[in-house]
């Protein structure tokens, strides 16, 4: 029987991406934090717990010594939705196995990896459970397994789900591991859980495997933010739930009072926070409870930070696909939900909240407080050629109505054991892959770009962009937050630097910017040329005419919106 006080533990974060949970850098998920808290609660000293991301192990092989020497190695990770990532690279199956093979101590694996693995995180795949050679595999909650394993002397555990009394303790106790994350403190955002499970049963989704939704007490979430803030974090996302509007209610109906307590409490314990965003919002809640939903959305927009996104799981606008996969809303209902969010939360800081959301030359200079984002999934049962036409018609209807979407997420289904899709797999997704690619490109060109021009008109300021990488003589970076815009600025700025940028042009899912405010007496020629209407000759004249005492005026060029002297 091992005394927990003598146990050393290494927690390896291979990153997660689930329908209602994200943990790829710059995000840190709940899994490593709650696992660390469970270990402390079981009696392991904090100083005996080491946390590494998979990227940190790749970057410095000497860190593998912590894997070799630990009495217990806990791996958390797994992807149940496909994605592409900039801030980190999720662990590959061979790397997950290497951790087990390298460790001399007991090994425990958990997280969504238990649903299955693939050689790449892409759609149109049938995901299978695989033997990854760990001593123990948590088929329920890895944090509960870690607690029981240590409490039982590393001799075993029975799969179980943790309860919210345990989470209340573990969330606070495990907050310290954020200080061991390579991105701490400036480029790290903590995913916060308010609930798990879902009242609905969409055919492809793994979230219903957690059962009906159960909700944390608002004070417990606020206490977790307080602890994370004490360890230096200033960026938070309430993303671990199927529907933020259902928080504190019966699983379906909104509870505005609970949202007010949650958001107001977070602001009170972390008054200097820099990011407060969310992820999932179910459009069916808005359709079924429009007034209470509107009130809840207004509360969120009052307390959040600009550029927030509420992901809407429309999944398909095809009524046939909707019927065969138990999807919740149709195209007309989802359009109305988009309208409600635009009206209640689509205002920009500094503009009249009572006015309709605006775009164009006269728009305010910040991103809207909260906009919907649409999720579309292809390869579902019943999909046909007309499915692509239905989805495109829905997106066109949003454009035609003058409404705003922050982003459109189009993906092909991943079929997991335990979901209804396991019976049919990803066969349709593979059969329709060619049509899918053509349709996706058309949406990017004909929907995403014009929508992005509305959301971020010329001169829109994006504060605190973090420089992430260089390419083609430009610096690419993002803000911290939900689905942040990728922005490219001319020149190669120091990586890791934070700067404000003003939007000057758009791609399909990214923007071009210039540093804001642009100092005319120090700006490079490429930066000046990027400002709309300036061009090569005017930029050259600005450079040769330095120093400037005021911003020069040019016909048709609003240079003073971007520049100063």
Cβ neighbours, 10 Å, residue 419? 22
Whether 368 is in a domain gets the answer no
**pLDDT per position as a tens digit, 85-115:** 888 999 998 999 999 999 999 999 999 887 6
Q: At a CB cut-off of 8 Å and minimum separation 6, what does 484 contact? A: 307, 478
Tokens 């992820």 belong to: 279
- pLDDT, average across residues 28-41: 98
Q: What is the pLDDT of residue 314?
A: 93
Distance CA 81, CA 83 (A): 7
> Among 182, 211, 244, where does a domain finish?
182
Has residue 429 got a pLDDT over 60? yes
What is the DSSP annotation of 343-401? HHH---TTS-TTSPP--STT--SS--SEEEEEEEEES-TT--HHHHHHHHHHHHHHHHT
Q: What is the pLDDT of residue 325?
A: 87
Q: What is the pLDDT of residue 79?
A: 84
On average, the pLDDT of the chain sits at 90
Distance CA 264, CA 256 (A): 12
Backbone angles phi, psi at 70, to 5 degrees: -65, 145
- pLDDT, average across residues 428-438: 79
> Among 158, 182, 206, where does a domain finish?
182
The secondary structure of residue 415, as a DSSP letter, is E
Q: What is the pLDDT of residue 361?
A: 43
**Could you tell me if 244 and 304 are in contact, meaning their C-beta atoms sit under 8 angstroms apart?**
no
- As to burial, measured by CB atoms within 10 angstroms (0-12 exposed, 13-18 middle, 19+ buried), residue 347 is buried
CA atoms within 13 A on the CB side of 415: 18
Has residue 122 got a pLDDT over 50? no
Cα Rg, the chain, nearest whole Å: 24
Distance CA 37, CA 13 (A): 15
Q: Which of 118-127, 131-140, 212-221, 486-495: highest mean pLDDT?
A: 486-495
Has residue 82 got a pLDDT over 50? yes
> Among 130, 157, 182, where does a domain finish?
182
Q: What is the pLDDT of residue 358?
A: 46
Distance CA 249, CA 253 (A): 6
Read off the pLDDT band of 214 (50, 70, 90): confident
What's the CATH code of the domain at 39? 3.40.50
Higher-confidence residue of 250 and 171: namely 171
Q: At a CB cut-off of 8 Å and minimum separation 6, what does 444 contact? A: 508, 509
- pLDDT, average across residues 126-131: 54
Whether 336 is in a domain gets the answer no
Whether 347 is in a domain gets the answer no
Proportion of the chain above pLDDT 70, given as a percent: 89
Whether 367 is in a domain gets the answer no
Has residue 67 got a pLDDT over 70? yes
Has residue 272 got a pLDDT over 50? yes
C-alpha triplet 118, 22, 313: angle, nearest 5°: 90
Whether 352 is in a domain gets the answer no
**pLDDT per position as a tens digit, 481-538:** 999 999 999 999 999 999 999 999 999 889 999 999 999 999 999 999 999 999 898 9
Choose the weakest-confidence range: 116-125, 276-285, 437-446.
116-125
pTM of the model: 0.92
Has residue 407 got a pLDDT over 70? yes
Q: What is the pLDDT of residue 127?
A: 45
Q: What is the pLDDT of residue 366?
A: 93
The residue count for the chain: 565
Reading phi first (left if > 0) and then psi (alpha if -120 to 50, else beta), residue 89 is in: beta
Domain boundaries, position 485 = 461-564
Q: What is the pLDDT of residue 393?
A: 97
Whether 245 is in a domain gets the answer no
From start to end of 247-293, where are the E strands?
A: 275-278
Q: What is the pLDDT of residue 426?
A: 61
Instruction: Give the total number of structural domains in the chain.
Output: 2
Whether 373 is in a domain gets the answer no
Higher-confidence residue of 433 and 1: namely 433
Whether 283 is in a domain gets the answer no
SS (H, E, C) 454-494: HHCCCCCEEEEEEEEEEECCEEEEECCCCCCCEEEEECCCC
**pLDDT per position as a tens digit, 351-399:** 766 554 444 444 448 999 999 999 999 888 888 999 999 999 999 999 9
Distance CA 307, CA 456 (A): 10
**pLDDT per position as a tens digit, 308-332:** 999 998 999 999 999 988 888 999 9
- pLDDT, average across residues 532-550: 90
Has residue 124 got a pLDDT over 60? no
Coil, helix or strand at residue 83: coil
**Could you tell me if 38 and 4 are in contact, meaning their C-beta atoms sit under 8 angstroms apart?**
no
Has residue 2 got a pLDDT over 90? no
SS (H, E, C) 109-147: EECHHHHCECCCCCCCEEEECCCCCCCEECCCCHHHHHH
Read off the pLDDT band of 422 (50, 70, 90): low
Beta strands across the sheet bearing 308-315: 308-315, 370-378, 407-412
Distance CA 27, CA 183 (A): 9
């Amino acid at each position: 029987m091992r005394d927990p006080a003598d146990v050393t533990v290494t927690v390896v974060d291979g990153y997660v991406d689930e329908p209602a949970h994200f943990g790829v850098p710059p995000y840190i998920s709940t899994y490593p934090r709650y696992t660390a808290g469970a270990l402390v609660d079981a009696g392991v000293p904090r100083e005996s717990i080491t946390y590494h991301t998979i990227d940190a192990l790749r970057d410095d092989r000497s860190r593998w010594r912590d894997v070799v020497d630990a009495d217990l190695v806990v791996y958390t990770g797994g992807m149940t939705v496909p994605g592409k990532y900039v801030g980190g690279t999720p662990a590959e199956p061979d790397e997950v196995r290497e951790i087990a093979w390298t460790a001399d101590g007991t090994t425990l694996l958990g997280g969504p990896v238990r649903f299955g693995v693939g050689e790449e995180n892409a759609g149109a795949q049938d995901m299978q459970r695989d033997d990854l050679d760990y001593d123990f595999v948590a088929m329920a909650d890895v944090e509960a397994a870690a607690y029981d394993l240590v409490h039982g002397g590393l001799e075993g555990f029975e799969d179980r789900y943790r309860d919210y009394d345990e989470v209340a303790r573990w969330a606070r106790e495990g907050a310290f591991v954020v200080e061991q994350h390579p991105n701490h403190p400036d480029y790290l955002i903590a995913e916060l859980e308010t609930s798990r499970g879902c009242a609905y049963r969409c055919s492809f989704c793994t979230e219903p495997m957690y059962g009906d939704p159960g909700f944390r007490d608002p004070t417990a979430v606020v206490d977790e933010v307080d602890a994370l803030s004490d360890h230096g974090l200033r960026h938070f996302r309430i993303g671990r739930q199927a529907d933020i509007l259902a928080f504190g209610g019966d699983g379906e109906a909104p509870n505005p009072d609970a949202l007010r307590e949650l958001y107001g409490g977070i602001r009170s314990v972390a008054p200097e926070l820099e990011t407060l965003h969310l992820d999932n919002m179910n459009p069916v809640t808005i359709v079924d409870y429009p007034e209470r939903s509107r009130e809840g959305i207004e509360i969120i927009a009052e307390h959040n930070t600009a550029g927030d996104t509420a992901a809407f799981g429309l999944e398909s606008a095809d009524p046939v696909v909707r019927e065969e996969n138990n999807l919740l809303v149709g195209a007309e209902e989802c359009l109305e939900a988009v309208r409600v969010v635009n009206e209640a939360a689509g205002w920009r800081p500094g503009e009249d909240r009572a006015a309709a959301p605006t775009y164009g030359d006269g728009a305010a200079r910040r991103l809207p407080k909260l906009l919907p984002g649409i999720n579309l999934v292809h390869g579902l049962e019943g999909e046909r050629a007309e499915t692509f036409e239905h989805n495109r018609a829905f997106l066109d209807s949003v454009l035609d109505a003058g409404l705003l979407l922050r982003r459109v997420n189009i993906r092909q289904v991943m079929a997991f054991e335990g979901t209804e899709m396991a019976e049919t797999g990803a066969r349709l997704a593979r059969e329709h892959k060619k049509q899918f690619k053509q349709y996706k490109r058309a949406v990017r060109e004909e929907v995403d770009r014009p929508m992005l021009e509305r959301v971020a008109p010329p001169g829109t300021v994006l504060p605190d962009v973090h420089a992430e990488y260089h390419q083609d003589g430009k610096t690419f970076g993002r803000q911290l937050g939900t689905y942040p815009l990728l922005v490219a600025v001319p020149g190669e700025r120091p990586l890791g630097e934070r700067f404000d940028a003003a939007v000057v042009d758009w791609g399909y899912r990214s923007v071009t910017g210039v540093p804001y405010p642009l100092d005319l007496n120090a700006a490079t020629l490429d930066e000046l040329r990027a400002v709309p209407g300036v061009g090569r000759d005017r930029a050259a004249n600005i450079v040769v005419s330095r120093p400037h005492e005021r911003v020069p005026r040019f016909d048709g060029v609003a240079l003073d919106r971007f520049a100063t002297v």
